[in-house]
Structure 1
Amino acid sequence: MPEMTFTVRWPDGRVADCYSPSLVMHDHLTVGASYPLAEFISRTNTALDLASERVRAKFGFECTSARQQQSEIAAVASRFTAAPDARVEVLAMVPPLEVDS
């Protein structure tokens, strides 16, 4: 199961690398897109839940790293909930998905 990282810019300009145990994040985020904070949290939670379930299906246990990443995203996001226009920008996703020609 290929793992990946996705790099984001938080509303305060801080850049962070995040982890996913599966490439499923590509189905929920787009490089170059900027998401309202609540939408970013929802999209990453959905993707990380799916990724953790893929790990459970393959290995018999959920991915604690995915759960940890969800906690880290929630902790950072909590600093910006008072700002109604807070957005998170997706800067990179590695590895990128291969595009069929």
Structure 2
Amino acid sequence: MPEINFKIEWPDGSQQICYSPSLVVKKYFEPGEDYNLEEFVQKCRTSLTIASDRVKAAYGFPCSKAMGQIQQIEFLAGQYTHLSDPKVRFLGFESILTD
């Protein structure tokens, strides 16, 4: 199953590399786009849950790394909810090289 990382920029300018066990996230995000914080979190929750479900269908168990990524995104997003119109910039996708 092809894995992929994606890079984001939080409202304070800090950047983060996130993980998905499936390319399904490409259907939910566009590089260079800004997303409302709430919309971004929802899209992450949806796409990473689908990705984890694909792992479960293929291997018999969900992807704990994808579920952990959702939790981390939700936690970090909570730091920006006090802002009047927080945006997350989706910087792009990065392939994961495996041997």
**One-letter code aligned to 2:85:** D
Aligned to 1:3: 3
Aligned to 2:13: 13
Aligned to 2:68: 68
- Per-residue deviation at 1:84? 2.7
- Per-residue deviation at 1:89? 0.3
**TM-score, length-normalised on structure 1?**
0.92
Q: Which runs of 4+ in 1 moved over 4 A?
A: none
CA distance in 1, matches of 2:55, 2:84: 35
Q: Deviations over 1:15-34 (max 9, x none)?
A: 10000000000000110100
Q: Which runs of 5+ in 1 are unaligned?
A: 96-101
**TM-score, length-normalised on structure 2?**
0.94
Map 1:35-54 onto structure 2 (within 5 A): 35-54=35-54
CA distance in 2, matches of 1:94, 1:23: 11
Q: Which runs of 5+ in 2 are unaligned?
A: none
**One-letter code aligned to 1:55:** V
Number of residue pairs the alignment of both structures matches: 95
